[in-house]
Structure 1
């Protein structure tokens, strides 16, 4: 039996479509950030009781209620005069629509301010008509939704209380080390307030999201823990219980909590604006792999390689395709994930310094960031039919032909695009292994434009003469460009 990542879901979900439920299981974070505490080794505590007593008043159970529309297909229609007509009149049609129904679900959350702000997962409250908060004392209050961020699965709620509410602070997840003690609280399987303890098993785990930064823990977490806090030993929230690795849907000691340093920024924006406002650079990028670094003559495979610069902030700031972004605001960039996070955390409208490598030289560019939410495109470019050209040649394990003007629309390419179209591949070759497919178009080789097969062959010869083992190709598949390094030996 194989194990798989199982995102946590609200416990007690009923009448909820499978797809909606799986999305509800998908991710969960929440929590926060406070002053960094010195990283010091600690012995195993004799008991977690004092810590649990201190933080439990701020941890809440969340119950949501959702109206589910009646199904439109009422089962078989019984014709008038049918021998079954009397039967259904007497006993009813079990497949007949029963009208709208209510679906209830349970999750977890925590209070972050005395005036009633509460953090939980977006999937816990998504689509809910009513949200009820149960406190450790047994008191219940209705909550209103302030804002959500599906990208990090965070939701911010607000309750009105006649008296100040107990709350917890955000801790600095960056100071947590593998082996540190942690304690999880929540509402597992709808059983009410529950505490579990363990250690940090790993850091910086990435599951599926752009902004993922998960803390792995062996503290037991289960369905219904969604949105519940993961505490350090000072009672600060350093993660939000999110997903588990399990063959059966239950805890086997491999759980994931979204790091508070990601969540705290989202929570503050939701509190201030009711929505997120992430910085946007406006480039398409890919990681610099060792073979790409060798093809470009780079010393180390680090940074973010720019594959395309559409209209936007980066283009206005002078960024070019083929640049390698190695620094952002004075901080070294290790890979694309690092750059995306730093840009997203920066203020919209801020002028930032980018350090790029271009043709072996370092340049510093000034780019004024836009807003990602306003710029994100939702359309996916469709791949065209495999083109056929009258003249072709096999080069580097690919059958290539000159791109014709009549092929541009079929391949979803802009007018004026020049290059070589891939019409076939050796499926045992390197190009196929690296993801090149029929219909792809090579527009650059060795960071120079290619318009003919002779151009490509010249670039191959130049790479060999320079002692390079590989050649860097810019390949476009519709609107998505990427660099691929192929061996020329």
Structure 2
């Protein structure tokens, strides 16, 4: 066999070309060192404690439990030792870890609502290792945003970017405290924008492949210029850990919520008063539409803004203030960001014709009022807020009763079971539900030692889900 011997000069040239190629590849990758040095001081660790009542009922409890279903999950770290007696009916303190970031030098801190939900005490640890108690100014479960206040001044703050300018494929980085490891940095790209998740109709999520794990929740997502463009909120998982798909709340959405929380301690969002469903290809054809887009009004609250403004069941909303409603899940977000009392311009398909209609938005019913209407126990035990189903909707679904889910609390048993806003609950534990008062009575009597079957209607179809009460 003949061996080819290359001249030494040729070897030198090949090595030089290889070195140049590696240098070029290195230069094409982003360098996050300056970003991290500038931004890390404004990122904080958040720990909370709360007293819970444990039972020995098995079920999904995130990373601390024995089983984690395939689900979109909010994530923050739990540190809960197992009690010696198996936890039968004991009150214990649960400590959780999350992240946050400073948005003003006088001590305002932003994080996720689920990080501080039901917390008895909130502790913020700064970059300089100071630990300060925090006051919860307000939180908004619909967008999963919370605002805290600590007693400190001259704090390092982060610069807010414009999440509307994000492009798919753009590099982003996250800083947080996964598993309690402070100021861990991960990076990736924007995988998609304007994602609507099943239980979060008010947020057009940023999807990334940035590694997010328990403890990252509430931490900032940065663009390459070091501006905050999102708040890391949740991931999709089968195992309970990161699987390459994570979601962040756009900072433009979060800042609008924070401004209201800072001023009023709560968030007012627009309300239309309609029950909607997706437009299938067959429905689009039956309505004389070329494309299956928009949100079909299945029913209206007779006292709501839509009914008062002349909208009808069977109308298909295809535009809100000139913005396309590509799918039904987009409508709550477009309506919710409107100011109560403001007038919006809707474009509808009615009887095969495109028409324009103006409607004055109402204010989304107050949580406390809704809880009074639906009964406090179903809010606490199930984590849902419900309202009566109109007669027209009952006739369309061919059901004698039922209640419509208006709101699902994050990390509640209802959310874990996959119950969504817009679902119509018709039976619980094989007992028919015809009103919110009846639901309250049934929930009061439900056992906590087994799975409970719930029958519901979603998008015109009947299905069962099972949940287990804590």
- TM interval, shorter chain, is 0.5 to 0.7
Aligned to 2:401: 412
- 115, 121, 127: which one aligns with 1:130: 121
Largest Rg, 1 or 2: 1
Aligned to 2:181: 191
1:174 and 2:159 are equivalent in the alignment: no
After superposition, where does 1:10-159 map in structure 2 within 5 Å? 44-45=28-29, 47-68=31-52, 101-159=92-150
Note the alpha carbon deviations across 1:120-163, whole angstroms, 9 max, x for none: 112211221211111111122110001111222221101111x3
* Normalised TM-score (structure 1): 0.62
Provide closer, same or farther for how the CA distance between residues 45 and 479 of structure 1 changes in structure 2, counting only shifts above 3 A: closer
Aligned to 2:68: none
Note the alpha carbon deviations across 1:181-200, whole angstroms, 9 max, x for none: 11110011012221111211
Q: CA deviation at 1:69?
A: 5.5
Instruction: Tell me the SS of whatever aligns to 1:272.
Output: helix
Note the alpha carbon deviations across 1:258-306, whole angstroms, 9 max, x for none: 2223322222221221111110011122222221111122222222222
Aligned length: 337
Runs of 5+ in structure 2 lacking a partner?
1-26, 58-83, 375-384, 390-394, 403-425, 427-454, 462-470
- 317, 330, 340: which one aligns with 1:338: 330
Q: CA deviation at 1:101?
A: 3.9
Aligned to 2:386: 379
Instruction: Tell me the SS of whatever aligns to 1:373.
Output: coil
Provide closer, same or farther for how the CA distance between residues 373 and 167 of structure 1 changes in structure 2, counting only shifts above 3 A: farther
Q: CA deviation at 1:240?
A: 1.7
Provide closer, same or farther for how the CA distance between residues 309 and 98 of structure 1 changes in structure 2, counting only shifts above 3 A: closer
Q: CA deviation at 1:365?
A: 2.0
Provide closer, same or farther for how the CA distance between residues 337 and 97 of structure 1 changes in structure 2, counting only shifts above 3 A: closer
Q: Write the distance in 1 (CA, Å) between the matches of 2:456 and 2:324.
A: 32
Q: Write the distance in 1 (CA, Å) between the matches of 2:89 and 2:285.
A: 66
Q: CA deviation at 1:97?
A: 8.8
Instruction: Tell me the SS of whatever aligns to 1:268.
Output: helix
Instruction: Tell me the SS of whatever aligns to 1:210.
Output: strand
Query: Retained in 2: the 8 A contact 1:134–1:140?
Result: yes
Query: Retained in 1: the 8 A contact 2:56–2:86?
Result: no
Q: CA deviation at 1:231?
A: 0.5
Q: Which has the higher helix share?
A: 2
Q: Write the distance in 2 (CA, Å) between the matches of 1:98 and 1:480.
A: 35
Aligned to 1:264: 255
Query: Retained in 1: the 8 A contact 2:178–2:215?
Result: yes
Larger RCO: 1 or 2 (CA < 8 Å, sep 6+): 1
* Normalised TM-score (structure 2): 0.64
Query: Retained in 1: the 8 A contact 2:279–2:294?
Result: yes
Note the alpha carbon deviations across 1:189-219, whole angstroms, 9 max, x for none: 0122211112112223333221242222222
What RMSD in Å do the two structures reach over aligned CA positions? 3.4
Runs of 5+ in structure 1 lacking a partner?
1-42, 74-92, 383-402, 414-436, 438-476, 484-489
Q: CA deviation at 1:52?
A: 0.4
- 208, 214, 220: which one aligns with 1:223: 214
Q: CA deviation at 1:169?
A: 2.8
Query: Retained in 2: the 8 A contact 1:307–1:481?
Result: no
